[in-house]
Amino acid sequence: MIKSLRQRWRRWVNRRIPRADEQTFTQNNIFILPSGAGVVFGALLVIMLLTGINYQNSLIYLLTFVLGAIFVAAMHQTHRNLAGIQLALVSAGEAYPGSLIVFRLRASAKQQSFSVLLQSDPASPVRIDVGPDGPVEFELTATARRRGPVLLPDIRVETRFPFGLLTAWSWMRLHSPGLCYPKPVTPPYDAGGDDEGDTAQSKKAADPDHADIRPWRQGDLSQRVLWKRYARTGDMVIAEWEGEQGNPVWLDFDAFPGADRELRLSYLAALVEARSHTHQPYGLRLPGLKIDPDAGPVHRQQCLHALGTFGFEIPATRVDSGASGSAQYAGGAA
């Protein structure tokens, strides 16, 4: 019976508070009830009222009504302390299995709100004061357990200001998930496409004049920038040597026959990390997706993002890192 009531309550709340990356707390989605201290306070008021009636004592009446008025005023103030607060998702993080995915949120309000408690995990609550002086940013975390999208559990937002006699609360249910990458597993052999990385490096060292010039792009390594030319002309360009252009290293999903999908993605994640540590340009081929060869932290995250979202449809998220937002990949849901 109790379980059924909880499920019906939860369904009603989910309809009243739909998933969204921005939430404004108003009279329609704020709930308020007496706290434990408020219940005791109310019981004492009832006892005082009965005592005043029994003894016909005007001072007991006066004290009871004054304390009752304070309780009613506290109810309005507690509700007002939460009303008008706006929460918005700034970025949803990405991580490997077993790590914490960080969700950064921003709180703002036109009026001062004190001691607002936010928690998606009871073990790691965040308490903030927010007001018209400016928005407040904070972080909540969720544990990455398996590859794919990771939703932050519903965020409970509550306040007991000013006297702790009442609890006003609501929820924020984020729409955009974080992402869990595949767990890196070292493959039995390096399936890095054309194994001519060393040849490319030797060509670069032996014949530095045979290079193609292209504009600098975000994620390019600073070591590849032609700084002397930049000092002369102000143009930031990158030198791509003949060996790098002719024999790019490709990390291919089809290079591991006999392995299942998740194992192939784990192999590719390990190869992405290995190539990134050596600063060697590489590309990634997945069914329905091709990422051109490049290097740098942005390219690494783009490849890991593609591996993590492969087979899933991920809604667009606010991500400061520059990884791709929304894409539907072949292969179906995992």
Task: Parse the chain into domains and list their residue ranges.
Answer: 20-180, 197-328
Phi-psi region of 258 (alpha: psi -120 to 50; beta: other; left: phi over 0): left
pLDDT of residue 229: 77
Burial 274-289 (b: 16+ CB within 10 A, else e): bbbeeebbbbbbbeeb
Positions of the chain with pLDDT lower than 70, given as ranges: 189-212, 217-224, 239-248, 314-334
pLDDT of residue 124: 86
**Largest pairwise CA distance in the chain:** 106
CB of 266 closer than 8 Å to CB of 182: yes
CA distance 91 to 298: 16
pLDDT of residue 32: 96
pTM of the model: 0.75
pLDDT of residue 61: 93
